[in-house]
Chain A
């Protein structure tokens, strides 16, 4: 891994595979219908400036806003077997994969990266709902394991952003096996004494909720995110009654004791910095101008990181806002 492959190439790729075509200058809020200028919407992290509705955001855009100066390096995820079951429904699985890769410009449904947030070194993983519903298959399982291993190796916390319709049916039982596999990954973190923070975003359902997304030391959700095991439609069919307003939404889960916090996306970064620094026993984050970096804990981490991970020491100062 080097600077070219980790930073320059993804950047170039992302320029060419920009999902927002220039014609789409306006975006209509799914909730209140307000027309939002695309740049304004992007600057507000896809949160409606009128009603605060949280729209989907890709892992790449999320990381660009999360990491100091938008700088992060991707972690390689071991490639799983392609189409191990030779699955075919109305379409072949490899065809569905190709279509998803083409429409998203991504390889799979999870992105793992290392970098710093407010000069706090972390490992982050984010699930991509736009890639086959963010579904958890072998790649996602491998990505979580890779993220946990990197966190243990670099002695950093792991922050995971979940978003998925559940397990990827096209990988059959092997997708289900990602529940125990990802759980093993989380146990590695716990045994190493490292924080594991889950940010649940809309929607997080099925086998994903029933494994790594519910095992965090701290569980934070974005407002109004649907978080459940069985979806509301399935439940309505089973119990044959109308479900209460807001059922299975983030605030409802908070009320029922299933989450620690519900935090708007625009405030998430600061909150994650605060929490991870406390859990890692680091001094309070500095707001405003940065002092000179302290020699000590952080350099040590950077040394450990140096061989496999590119760490930017010249992150712009706006990082620690």
Chain B
């Protein structure tokens, strides 16, 4: 059963009624509800389109955080063959909030790295809700260096509320790890493609999302701070997250206009979670097209192009 977001309540009602009718019909053979149910379905579809036609930034944040939205692991399972996870930072631990390893993408060997949030209580705890610790970033740095040496394109899947704000994480150099990871992204002489599939939370996202091509799913968000965090600092009231989400310009559409994001990948009507297969396929096609674009680019051109792109950011306003 679909989990409905707060703003989808009217939709939940209609779809619930349609489901009830069908259940009744299943119990009672003589009843024919197909007409009524179809009418309700039409109404639901209409409402869904109405709701998703122009999602407010705060609603987009909710969609981006939807528990059923496809996560990094879903992309790896669906789009990559022979995924061979490589664990550990060789210093302290393996961070389960960060997945990464060798894999074949539609035949080509690549390095894939991403944040994984988990999808039930157990896996969420194991994955630390997608909040990486220094070990996660250091593992990513190790994998990026390896990809660079063996000439493997790097694909990162970004989905994190932010880097983990914990005691141990700070003691072990969370900021240094993030800084070095961003540095590693800028250093590699292979194509670096990054897709923000859900939440791009601040420095924790930048550390993976500094790439030749940065794409975002239509309803994903990417921000310097969470709307709740921004509201509590600037409005002194965490409940003002709607205003903060508006002001921060964190939607894929605004970020594309600002030149921070290169591509926006459309989502199925009602968000990625309503049709995961289509979403995964669309992301796969985007990766393939981008890899093909970069095929004959030499190392220096890739590094230089990436740097130039970042140096130029900020020349376009809204």
Query: Is there contact, CB below 8 Å, between B224 and A169?
Result: yes
A84 located at the interface, meaning its Cβ lies under 8 Å from any Cβ of chain B in the complex: yes
Query: Is there contact, CB below 8 Å, between A184 and B166?
Result: no
A175-B224, A258-B173 are known; give 8 further A-B pairs, CB within 8 A. Answer: A80-B314, A81-B315, A84-B318, A138-B314, A173-B223, A179-B179, A214-B173, A215-B180
- In angstroms, how far is the closest chain B Cβ from the Cβ of A45? 26
Q: Which residues of B contact A (CB under 8 A)?
A: 163-167, 169-176, 178-180, 182-183, 185-187, 202-203, 206-207, 210, 222-225, 230, 233-235, 243-244, 247-250, 255, 258, 260, 307, 310-311, 313-318
CA distance A141 to B230 in the complex (A): 21
Query: Is there contact, CB below 8 Å, between A169 and B318?
Result: no
CA distance A256 to B63 in the complex (A): 40
Query: Is there contact, CB below 8 Å, between B173 and A235?
Result: no
A210 located at the interface, meaning its Cβ lies under 8 Å from any Cβ of chain B in the complex: yes
Query: Is there contact, CB below 8 Å, between B318 and A176?
Result: no
Number of A-B contacts (CB under 8 A): 166
Query: Is there contact, CB below 8 Å, between B317 and A177?
Result: no
Q: A88-B247, A238-B166 are in contact. Are A177 and B179 (CB under 8 A)?
A: no
Q: A85-B318, A229-B178 are in contact. Are A172 and B250 (CB under 8 A)?
A: yes
Please give me the residue from chain B that is nearest to A237 by CB atom. B165
A145 located at the interface, meaning its Cβ lies under 8 Å from any Cβ of chain B in the complex: yes
Q: Which residues of A contact B250 (CB under 8 A)?
A: 172-173
Q: Which of B167, B170, B183 lies in contact with A215, CB distance below 8 A?
A: B183
Query: Is there contact, CB below 8 Å, between A89 and B234?
Result: yes
- In angstroms, how far is the closest chain A Cβ from the Cβ of B111? 19
Q: Which residues of A contact B (CB under 8 A)?
A: 80-81, 83-90, 138, 141-142, 145, 167, 169, 171-177, 179-181, 183-184, 186-187, 206-207, 209-215, 227-230, 234-235, 238-239, 241, 243, 247-248, 256-258
- Could you tell me the dominant secondary structure of chain B's interface residues? helix
- Rank and list the top 6 A-B pairs by shortest CB-CB distance, nearest first: A230-B165, A84-B317, A209-B175, A89-B234, A229-B175, A210-B178
Q: Which residues of A contact B234 (CB under 8 A)?
A: 89-90, 169
Query: Is there contact, CB below 8 Å, between A243 and B310?
Result: no
Query: Is there contact, CB below 8 Å, between B314 and A243?
Result: no
Query: Is there contact, CB below 8 Å, between A172 and B186?
Result: no
Query: Is there contact, CB below 8 Å, between B235 and A89?
Result: yes
Query: Is there contact, CB below 8 Å, between B315 and A181?
Result: no
- In angstroms, how far is the closest chain B Cβ from the Cβ of A50? 31
Q: Which residues of A contact B207 (CB under 8 A)?
A: 210
Query: Is there contact, CB below 8 Å, between A172 and B178?
Result: no
- In angstroms, how far is the closest chain A Cβ from the Cβ of B232? 10
Q: Which residues of B contact A83 (CB under 8 A)?
A: 317
Query: Is there contact, CB below 8 Å, between A184 and B307?
Result: yes
Query: Is there contact, CB below 8 Å, between A85 and B315?
Result: no
- In angstroms, how far is the closest chain A Cβ from the Cβ of B259? 9
Q: Which residues of B contact A176 (CB under 8 A)?
A: 202-203, 206, 223-224
Query: Is there contact, CB below 8 Å, between A210 and B179?
Result: yes
CA distance A227 to B173 in the complex (A): 10
Q: Which residues of B contact A145 (CB under 8 A)?
A: 311
CA distance A255 to B40 in the complex (A): 65
Query: Is there contact, CB below 8 Å, between B247 and A214?
Result: no
